[in-house]
Structure 1
Amino acid sequence: MKIQGFLGAMALFLMLGCQQKTTTPDSMKTAIPEEEKDTVAILKEPQKEITNDAAAILARKEVPILCYHNIKDFSASAGEMTKTYTVKPAAFAEQMKALSDAGYHSILPDQLYDYLLHNKPLPEKPVMITFDDTRGEQYSIGAAEMKKYNFKGVFFVMTVSINRPNYLSEAEIKELSDSGNAIAAHTWDHHMVTKYSGEDWNTQLVKPKAKLEAIIGKPINYFAYPFGLWNAAAIPEIKKSGYNMAFILSTKRDSLNPLFTVRRMIVSGNWTTERMMQSIEGTFKNAK
């Protein structure tokens, strides 16, 4: 009977305890100093995204952007244009390894856009690796070699060449996109933007964008000028066609539209790997 009485008392004690509200004595509450209340209120408000103007974009450190065309062997007697626009497979492999060994991390256009326009952070030692003209070896050699170092590339496609022999197929373009690379536009047939008029803008800017979007199922927001050539008349048309950023070669950027004159450097087949690494520093002297 004594045990039963003891257990009953304990049950009553616990029940009463559960019904009591836990309170914190005023002496233990942390008061926010009056002078800090405004700061706390600001921190609680949604922070507005920074949007840089042209001057602020130009003031950002440039990111090295490499431009490749052909990746194939050539003879010592090849013409200068071939040597300039063609990198041998062994040299390309060596260059990718050198970038990795030096601590570079590949980035894609979305990251560059957010960095330039909104001050978003980039990985340490960023580099962008781009390919022009839709050559088939960019997939079979370029993408395969980059994959060894977890690098991703940007493939600027001229749509007239899709599915032709020695050029990228629709399936390869889709696979490149699905595996994390960026697909971007490089006109329909590589005519100079500086010579466009009338229906050319639709043929060279709008239709290629729509075709590539249909292939990869994603927006196409970036464009590269054939031969790196541009003029002031082209930029409003490129904007109107739905592109967020456009890439030239290593000439001067436009002071009013730096997002549409982003500089790249052609990697020459005449260069050693050491020369290529030195050229990154020389071309992008204020590189991030």
Structure 2
Amino acid sequence: FDIALPTLKRSGLTAAVFVVAATLDRGQEVDWVDDPPDFTLETLTRNQIQALDAEGIDIGSHSLFHKNLTTLTYAACVDDLTTSRLILEEIVNKPVPYLAYPRGLWNETVAKAAQTAGYLGAFSLPVGPEPVGAFSMPRIGIWRDNGPREFWLKNTRTYQSVRTSRFYELVGG
């Protein structure tokens, strides 16, 4: 928030931020990073989400609790995704039509649950070929430790093409 928003504004760029809705009351420590850095990662707060929205940043859902949605029942998945969407819509006072699956993990049941929960589409993190559609749009993660070179590379068409090909696994994706 403190670094990305001013950088985006200076550069005349916009972005989308996908939010884990249950963590917004006070900004909570992130506990789902596989290889956490030496410093504490915290989630955004409600006020920060409102500030991002006011600056034209698109707000999307990243679920309610950041669970692996493929392990939930259909009903639990619909409940998680609906609750997340409603919380975020109340904060930004407008529709939140898009979801980024936690860890990019999804299957057809999760995609159907997302549609039932009221989303228009959802983003995955493909690590090879997978079907592309409204509920399986490929996304690329931009992480805190990505430098300018990685940011540039991840925003090229070549990277997206490699990321969604069988070649990605061969090069150590």
TM-score normalised by length of structure 2? 0.74
- Specify the SS of the correspondent of 2:3: helix
For residues 75-96 of structure 1, what are the alpha-carbon distances to aligned partners after superposition, in whole Å with 9 as ceiling and x for unaligned? xxxxxxxxxxxxxxxxxxxxxx
Distance 2:44 2:118 in 1: 24
Distance in 2 (CA, whole Å) between partners of 1:156 and 1:285 is 23
Task: Give how far 1:278 is off.
Answer: 3.6
1:254 aligns with 2:119: no
Match of 1:243 among 116, 119, 123: 119
Secondary structure at 1:156 match in 2: strand
Could you list the per-position Cα deviations for residues 165-222 of structure 1 after superposition, in whole angstroms to 9, with x for gaps in the alignment? 4332212111211221111101111001111115412431001111111111000100
Alignment of 1:205 onto 2:84: no
Q: 2:110 aligns with which of 231, 234, 240?
A: 234
Question: Aligned with 2:122: secondary structure?
Answer: strand
Partner of 1:7: none
Cα distance, 1:271 vs structure 2: 5.7
SS at match of 2:137: coil
Which 5+ residue runs of structure 2 have no aligned equivalent?
Answer: 28-41, 163-173
Q: Partner of 1:81 in structure 2?
A: none
Equivalent residue letter for 2:46: E
Superposition misfits of 4+ residues, deviation over 6 angstroms? none
- Under a length normalisation based on structure 1, what TM-score does the superposition of the two structures give? 0.46
Q: Of the two structures, which has the highest relative contact order with CA contacts closer than 8 Å and spacing of 6 or more? A: 1
Alpha-carbon distance in 1 for matches of 2:45, 2:104: 24
Which of 25, 37, 42 in structure 2 is aligned with 1:163? 25
Higher helix share: 1
Further displaced range: 215-224 or 258-267: 258-267
* 2:74/2:110 contact within 8 Å kept: no
Q: After TM superposition, give the deviation of residue 281 of structure 1 in Å.
A: 3.8
Query: C-alpha separation between the residues in 2 aligned to 1:192 and 1:275?
Result: 27
Is the 8 Å Cα contact of residues 74 and 113 (structure 2) preserved in structure 1? no
**Residue 14 of structure 2 corresponds to which residue in structure 1?**
152
Q: Root-mean-square deviation (CA), in Å?
A: 2.2
Computing the radius of gyration from Cα coordinates, the structure with the larger value is 1
Equivalent pair of 2:120/2:134 in contact (CA under 8 Å): yes
> In the alignment, which of 69, 88, 94 is matched to residue 218 of structure 1?
94
* Post-superposition offset of 1:254: 1.7
3-state SS of paired residue (1:223): strand
Do the aligned residues in 2 keep the contact of 1:194 with 1:230 (CA within 8 Å)? yes
Identical aligned residues as a percent: 23
Cα-to-partner distance string for 1:148-168 (whole Å, 9 max, x where unaligned): 111111110101110224332
Distance 2:106 2:122 in 1: 10
Which residue is 1:27 aligned to? none
Q: How far apart, in 2, do the equivalents of 1:269 and 1:208 lie?
A: 24
Kindly report which structure 2 residues correspond to 1:9-28, keeping only aligned pairs within 5 A, or say none: none
Residues of 1 paired with 2:76 and 2:22: CA distance? 14
**Secondary structure of 1:265's partner?**
coil
Does the 8 A contact of 1:250 with 1:283 survive in 2?
no
Residue 195 (structure 1) aligned with residue 71 (structure 2): yes
Match of 1:186 among 42, 54, 62: 62
